[in-house]
A and B are shown apart, each in its own frame.
Chain A
């Protein structure tokens, strides 16, 4: 069974503060993704990575950085959190060559005040 875990599961942050969201997968998958989910917008891709020490911009990368220190771990960093970044964030993983399935984590609910 594919396993993607995220931490923390919820967080309250202050405007202008730094926030780091972590994702860990035990699937031995090459690709990892960060999405945000807002009501009425579905999921939107922020950053993704296909190999350790390399990240790529997704569709809405502004205000976010990503880090892939190992195949298993992928972090999303908000250097200066803003109110508009309040959302639920999902991490997912996918195996290279498998066009079908992205396996999602349980999500992190972020509230920026």
Chain B
């Protein structure tokens, strides 16, 4: 059972465009949603994260929009550059369930290609 789903599987945008990556989840207990960026041959690295008490988080050219009622969120990459070409993973964690494990549930990833 895939608790975190991402779409599209792959996305190609022109340099300067805004790339939009979508993520949805099933578990209402999830309250922390990090996005990880992964380049080929490397491990994932935290890009930006949001908690369920917020509906928007910005960091540089990256923005998360969060809809708790609909259980979905999106990552917008503004003014995309070739260096943003990578795989992006949406993840989720339930931080208020009493445990401290920090367990993350990952989506399948979206491969983004920015062409110039």
Contact = CB atoms under 8 A, between A and B. Distances in A.
Interface in A43-102: 43-45, 48, 50, 56, 58-59, 90, 92, 94, 96, 99-102
A50 B103 CA distance: 11
Which of A4, A42, A44, A104 has the largest count of B CB atoms less than 10 A from its CB? A42
B43 interface: yes
Given A99-B95, A101-B46, A56 B101 contact: yes
B103 A107 contact: no
B42 to A, nearest CB: 6
Interface stretch (B14-22, B67-75, B77-85, B104-112): B104-112
Query: How big is chain B's contact interface, by range?
Result: 20 to 34
Interface residues of A, number: 26
A43 B106 contact: yes
B95 A102 contact: no
A48 B108 contact: no
B72 to A, nearest CB: 17
Interface of A: 4, 31, 35, 40-45, 48, 50, 56, 58-59, 90, 92, 94, 96, 99-102, 104-107
